[in-house]
Structures are given as structure tokens and as C-alpha cells.
Chains A and B, each alone.
Chain A
Amino acid sequence: MSGRADTALRAPGIAGETARGIARGPRLALLGILAICQRAYLTLWRQPVLIISTMLFPIIYLAVLGNALNRQLVNVPLAVVDEAGNSLAAECRRGVMALQSGRNLVVATFPADRDEALKDLKRGHYRGVWILPYGLSPKGPAPAFIGDNTDRFSYETVESALAEIWGEVTGVRRVAAAPARLEAYPYLDYLTYLGPAVVCLAIFMGSMVAGGLQVIEDRMYGYHEGYLVTPVSTGAIVTGHMLAGTLVAGLAGALVLVVIMLFTPLPMATPEALGGGLVTVFLTALAISALWFLLFSRAKKTSVLRGMFGIINVLVFFPSGALYPVESYPKWLKLISDADPLTYGVAALRDLLLRGESIQTCYPEWLFLLTFSLVCGVLTQVLFRREV
């Protein structure tokens, strides 16, 4: 070897040249991993558009979906036809007025003619018509609700509110014992419930942009050749790419977590929970990056990613329980959900930040995420081609 080293002592007088200075073995592997991460990190800050769009998508998602689904029902147009004209009917009308001025649930009008009211219902002027028939009394005849059931949600809400009024005025409710209802955790609106899911969405997007897409682009534009001809081992290159994706995706996830906390404070965000949350964010980022890299370990064109993005999005994000509880899935969907790293990320984040569970409760999820990353990494290394 010494003979070979001597030929490298070429440039006179330069300290760096007096030895080849080429590390081998684990040191070289570490430097290789560091190099790939360094590039990803530098590239990220040179393209702020990238990180902003990566973060913006999940936040807009939260703002739109959260607010669209979270809103309480208000201003539902309701017609009340009072054919009875007795004191009971007057009480019912007062109840409706209270519903209007209090919860703002309905906008009530009081047409005299039932046929006219029903015609207007069909024309879409009302979502419901409440008829108080002649001779209204607790023993019957009772009020009738005819509602626009194309909109199931407002139909059921208004119907139950009116049933409650009828119960009040006839005194039924006072007889029945109210069922006990206790909330195990502090009140959460849907927006807060979505928080962890949105963090995971940011991770998902970030790892796609920095992990999958970057690797394919490197291959397309030839940058990859620069890696392949170096003495760094394939394992180190694969690890480097996975960690680079993790770095970017984890940062995106952490930033979104901070943004969410500013707008919808998470109830259990103690420093401990936040620390655990960050660990979860980075482990989820690792698992998702590993998944992207595995999927694109052989892809040579970005069109592959464009084609697959929708499918992967649906297969990874939606089954994760980010939006709906996992328990209610059918069996086949449950299987996908069980294998989906995002499921575990979302679950761990909810445990920590919404339920205030201790970090130990997340260990199984963390273990799954680590194992998942490891398996993907090993598979990628097998599939990864060192040739062009």
C-alpha cells in the first residue's frame, strides 16, 4: 500500500496533499452520510419555496377541512305552521324562538298555510317544516316534522332540537332521568383533533419532496453519478438519503407542530409531551422517508412519482386514522392501516398531545416506526443499483 500512497504525494508544499487523507471503513461511511445530509440541508434553505409549500399544504388542509367540518350548524331555515292556536302551541313557538335567538340554529318563519309551507320546502326555501296540528295536546295529536333529508346532518340536528322542545313543553323530559355523560379528556374541537394528523401530513409531504423526489431528480439529472463513483458504500448512501429525507420531513413536521400550537393550543402540550412529540415526529419522518426511498429505489423519472403520488397519498394518509377513527374501518382497510407508519405517528402524537399520556405509552409506536424504517432500509439497499 505504501507504494500507492507515495504516488499520491504529488503536490509539493501543500499540507493536505502530504497524505491522501482518505478515510475508509466506518469513518468514510459516516462522512458519506453526513455529506448527503449536508447537501439536503443546504438545498432546503436555498429553496424556501420548497419548505413553505411543504408546510403550507398541511396548514391549509387544517384550516379548510377543520373549519368546514368543525362549524356548528346555524341559520337553518325552518317553517313553523301553527294550526292549533292553543297555549301548548304557543309554548312550542316560544321554544323555537329561543332556539333561534340562543343557539342560532334556526331562522324561523311562521306561515299560516301548511300546503304553502310544504311547497316552499320543496322549492328549497326551508330545510324543515314543523306542523303543530289542530288540537295539539300531550296525549296527541303531536307535532309533525317534515324535513329535507337530502342534508342528513341538518335534518337530524333540527329534528332532535324540536323533539327536545316538545319534550320540554309536555314535561316528558322532566320525568326521564338524564343519562350521565362524562368526558375523559378536556373538550376538543375537531380542529384540535386534526392537529396531529396535520403534523403527519407535513411529514408525508416533506419526505416526498426531499426524499423520493430528490432521489429521482438526482438520478434524472446525473447528480447521482457523483455519489456512485465514490468509495462510500451503498449502505451508507442509502442511509444518507433516508436520513436526509428524515431531516427535511422532520423539520417540516416540527415547524407545523409549532404553528398549530400557536393557533389551536393543544391541551396537553407539556414540555415532556412536546419532547416526546418531537421524537415521534422524527421517527415518523424516518419511516415515511424510508418508505418513499424504497418505492423509488429504482425509479428513474419523476413521472413515476407524479403517477403514484395520488395512490400513495390515499394509501398512506387516509388509512392512518388521521381523519376518522381507525376502529371503524372494514377489515381490509384495517390491515393497510396496521402496516401504515402514519397510523403509529398519529396515534403517538394524539396520546402525547391530546390525552397527556406519558412518553412510555408511545414506546410500542416508536418501536414499530424504527422497525419499519429498518426493514425498508434493508430492502432498499438490496434493490438499490450502484450502476447507471
Chain B
Amino acid sequence: MTATAANPIEAENLTKRFGDVVADDAVSFAVRPGETYGLLGPNGAGKTTLVRMLTTLLRPTSGTARVAGYDVVRSKSDVRASIGTVSQAETTDENLTVRENLSVQGKMYGLWGKALSERIERRLSQVGLWEKRGQITKTLSGGMRRRLEIARGVLHSPHILFLDEPTSGLDPQSRRAVWDMLHELKEHDGALAIVLTTHAMDEANFLCDRLAIMDRGRILCEDAPEALKRSLPTGERVEIETDRAIDPSVRDAILALGAVNWRAPSPTAAQFEARPGEGIGRRAAELVEERGYRILHMTIAPVTLEDVFFAYTGRALRETA
């Protein structure tokens, strides 16, 4: 079997239509071994539908996808045995204890007896819920519940873990705890590939090795978060305030460095944008000081994935979400 050599996920022209609505429109992408791959986009971008096709919960209208080397339409059972999923729905029973939930789910993956109980202990320790093992699930906080869902998703040591909006609806602390936990999972298990959907840029930025920005059923761009940000012609925002009026010659010199969108909110202040990663802001500041100005205030706002999304769609991610 060539599955190990190939990428854990390879999707080609994956399309899903619901009547006239095209949820995913010929989506192609690949996830490499051990990679955390993010699908970033607003609600309705087609992320969940894409994940559902890859996890055999929806049949693609057209296109093909191989997960762990298996076709998602023809070899559903093999796909299911190779993946773990954490969906937006709560797939743990609130009336069962933490441990019982995993005991039920483990059997659904063919785990049994000592192997099962050892795994339960290991996974619950990993997500920090071992002390809560006897607690009825409905008494857990939202963050703990989500961590239990994740423990359920990785209980059987899948090759690929799918996380659909893993931190939506969680408070900042619980989000952070889930992120740390996912990092730890990867540390223990370097070969685990993770696919996660999110509409939070900070999450995509923090967790993903590579990510695809999705909108209206299409992948707009795909790369490592840093590379995506650097690929923008503009985006880094620089603000400089000096002790006296900025001379037009200084302005021209800064523009010559590569700055664009020059604006002067006041004679002594300047705002401009620059290509990220080239240190234009810093070089501009040096230039201003060389000309004898004193800088009273300066900010360099880095590019965010929000800017990347905006650059591709002309809309803000938050507005569409």
C-alpha cells in the first residue's frame, strides 16, 4: 500500500451542490503528512461541507478525494477507520461520565478491554480531564467538554484528525487551553495530520502550518500563514509622528523605499502601507531620523490574515462572518 508515501489527504475538484446552491466548487488541495492544515473562511464558505465530504458524512456531487490513501466514496469504511473527527455537534452523551463516553466511543473503533482503558487514561491525561473521569459530562464547562470531544476524536490514534471549528463559542482561556492541547498532541504524535476549519484568523495563524482561505465554496489562496501575509503587495501599516512638518522630499524618499498609500493626517504625521517583511517601516524611521527629525511616536502594525482575506475578497472576514 502506498498510502504512507502519499499525502494523507488529496482532494481533486471536490464539488458539492445542494439543489442550486454550490457549497463547494471544484476544491482541490492536499495535506502533507504531519501537517496542520487550516481552512479559514467566513460562515458559509463551504468549510464544513468540505470536511463532511472528507469524513464520509456527505457524498461529493463530483470530484474525488483520497483520505489516508482511500477513496472517500468507494472505501468509506477504511477512511472511517483512519480518521478522527471533532465536529461542531456534541457527540458525547451528557448523561454519561467522561470515562463512559470514551468507553462507548472506543468500542465503535474496535477497541476493547485493557487496550481501551489504557488509551482512555492516556488521552484523558493529555487533555487534562483524567481527574474528571468520573464526572457526568453535562457538569463539565464548555472548554472541558470540547477537550473531551477532542480526546474522543484521537482515542483510536487516527492518521488524520478533523476539527470543525474546534474553539467556536469558547471563552479566550478555554480557547488557549484547546490550542495548547493540540500543540501537545502534535508533539506526542508527529505523524498526525490535522485538518481544522475556523473563521478566527488568530486561531489559523497560531495552529496551522499551512492554510487555505476559502470563500463562497472556493479556495482563494493556500500557503503557510507567514507566506500568505508576505505575499501581499501592501498590508503593513506604518504611522510616524515627528516634531516638525514632514518635508515633501522626505515623503518622496520614503515612497522610493516601497511605501504606498501615503496619507498625512497632519503636517507632522505620516501614514503609509508597505509590503510586509521588508522592513520598510524601520528603514523609513531611520531615514526620518537621519534628516534630523525627532520621532515622537511610531507604530508598525503587522499584516494579519484578515488583510489577506480582504486583499482576495475585498470584504472583511468579520463582516462576512
Could you say which of B33, B52, B81, B89 contacts A223, with CB atoms under 8 Å apart? Answer: B89
In the assembled complex, 12 residue pairs joining A and B whose CB atoms fall closer than 8 Å, in A order, are A1-B1, A3-B1, A3-B3, A4-B4, A4-B68, A10-B189, A15-B114, A17-B122, A21-B112, A38-B104, A42-B104, A225-B57
- Known interface pairs A4-B4, A221-B89; A10-B157 also in contact (CB < 8 Å): yes
17 additional contacts, CB 8 Å, given A14-B122, A21-B112? A11-B189, A16-B118, A20-B156, A21-B110, A22-B81, A24-B110, A35-B104, A38-B103, A43-B95, A222-B89, A226-B92, A228-B56, A230-B109, A231-B109, A232-B108, A387-B59, A388-B58
**Is B146 positioned at the interface, with any CB of A under 8 Å from its CB?**
no
Could you say which of B87, B95, B116 contacts A42, with CB atoms under 8 Å apart? Answer: B95
What residues of A have a CB within 8 angstroms of the CB of B85 in the complex?
225, 229
What residues of A have a CB within 8 angstroms of the CB of B103 in the complex?
38
**Is A47 positioned at the interface, with any CB of B under 8 Å from its CB?**
yes
- Known interface pairs A14-B118, A43-B93; A35-B108 also in contact (CB < 8 Å): yes
- Known interface pairs A46-B95, A387-B58; A10-B192 also in contact (CB < 8 Å): yes
**Is B77 positioned at the interface, with any CB of A under 8 Å from its CB?**
yes
Whether B157 lies near A31 (C-beta < 8 A) is no
CA distance A32 to B105 in the complex (A): 9
- Near B by CB (< 8 A), chain A positions 324-338 give none
Query: How many residues on B have C-beta within 8 angstroms of the other chain's C-beta atoms?
Result: 57
- Near A by CB (< 8 A), chain B positions 78-106 give 78, 80-83, 85, 87-93, 95-96, 100, 103-106
Interface on B for A, CB 8 Å cutoff? Answer: 1, 3-5, 33, 52, 55-59, 68-69, 76-78, 80-83, 85, 87-93, 95-96, 100, 103-112, 114-116, 118-119, 122, 136, 152, 156-157, 159, 188-192
Per-position 1/0 for A13-35, Cβ under 8 A of B: 01111011111100110011011
Could you say which of A10, A39, A227, A231 contacts B77, with CB atoms under 8 Å apart? Answer: A231
Say how far B112's CB is from chain A's closest CB, in angstroms. 6
**Is A233 positioned at the interface, with any CB of B under 8 Å from its CB?**
yes
Could you say which of B83, B92, B96 contacts A46, with CB atoms under 8 Å apart? Answer: B96
What residues of B have a CB within 8 angstroms of the CB of A27 in the complex?
110
Q: Write the chain A residue with the least CB distance to B108.
A: A230
Whether A386 lies near B56 (C-beta < 8 A) is yes
Say how far A49's CB is from chain B's closest CB, in angstroms. 11
Whether B87 lies near A32 (C-beta < 8 A) is no
Whether B90 lies near A16 (C-beta < 8 A) is no
Whether A225 lies near B89 (C-beta < 8 A) is yes
Could you say which of A15, A21, A36 contacts B111, with CB atoms under 8 Å apart? Answer: A21
- Known interface pairs A28-B110, A42-B95; A16-B115 also in contact (CB < 8 Å): yes
Whether A11 lies near B89 (C-beta < 8 A) is no
Q: Write the chain A residue with the least CB distance to B85.
A: A229
Say how far B139's CB is from chain A's closest CB, in angstroms. 12
Whether A42 lies near B108 (C-beta < 8 A) is no
Query: How many residues on A have C-beta within 8 angstroms of the other chain's C-beta atoms?
Result: 46
Say how far A17's CB is from chain B's closest CB, in angstroms. 6
What residues of A have a CB within 8 angstroms of the CB of B92 in the complex?
223, 226
- Known interface pairs A4-B68, A14-B122, A46-B136; A22-B108 also in contact (CB < 8 Å): no
**Is A6 positioned at the interface, with any CB of B under 8 Å from its CB?**
yes
CA distance A22 to B100 in the complex (A): 19
Per-position 1/0 for A232-253, Cβ under 8 A of B: 1100000000000000000000
Say how far A45's CB is from chain B's closest CB, in angstroms. 9
Task: Identify whether the interface residues of B are mostly helix, strand, loop, or mixed.
Answer: loop
Whether B81 lies near A34 (C-beta < 8 A) is no
What residues of B have a CB within 8 angstroms of the CB of A223 in the complex?
89-93
CA distance A8 to B3 in the complex (A): 13
Whether A230 lies near B188 (C-beta < 8 A) is no
Say how far B136's CB is from chain A's closest CB, in angstroms. 7
Whether A231 lies near B68 (C-beta < 8 A) is no
CA distance A162 to B195 in the complex (A): 88
Whether B52 lies near A39 (C-beta < 8 A) is no
What residues of A have a CB within 8 angstroms of the CB of B80 in the complex?
229-231
CA distance A138 to B270 in the complex (A): 130
Whether A225 lies near B4 (C-beta < 8 A) is no
What residues of B have a CB within 8 angstroms of the CB of A43 in the complex?
93, 95-96
**Is A7 positioned at the interface, with any CB of B under 8 Å from its CB?**
yes
Q: Write the chain B residue with the least CB distance to A236.
A: B108
Whether A3 lies near B110 (C-beta < 8 A) is no
CA distance A8 to B193 in the complex (A): 12
CA distance A1 to B92 in the complex (A): 31
What residues of B have a CB within 8 angstroms of the CB of A19 in the complex?
115
Max count, chain A CB within 10 A of own CB: residue among B81, B95, B110, B111: B110
Max count, chain A CB within 10 A of own CB: residue among B33, B58, B111: B111
Say how far A357's CB is from chain B's closest CB, in angstroms. 41
Say how far B43's CB is from chain A's closest CB, in angstroms. 17
What residues of B have a CB within 8 angstroms of the CB of A22 in the complex?
81, 109-111, 156
Whether A15 lies near B105 (C-beta < 8 A) is no
- Known interface pairs A11-B157, A20-B157, A46-B136; A32-B191 also in contact (CB < 8 Å): no
- Known interface pairs A22-B81, A230-B109; A15-B118 also in contact (CB < 8 Å): yes
Whether B112 lies near A225 (C-beta < 8 A) is no
Whether B87 lies near A225 (C-beta < 8 A) is yes
What residues of A have a CB within 8 angstroms of the CB of B82 in the complex?
4
The 10 closest A-B pairs by CB, nearest first: A222-B89, A226-B91, A23-B110, A35-B107, A16-B118, A230-B108, A231-B81, A46-B95, A31-B107, A28-B110
CA distance A15 to B116 in the complex (A): 11
CA distance A165 to B18 in the complex (A): 81
Per-position 1/0 for A321-357, Cβ under 8 A of B: 0000000000000000000000000000000000000
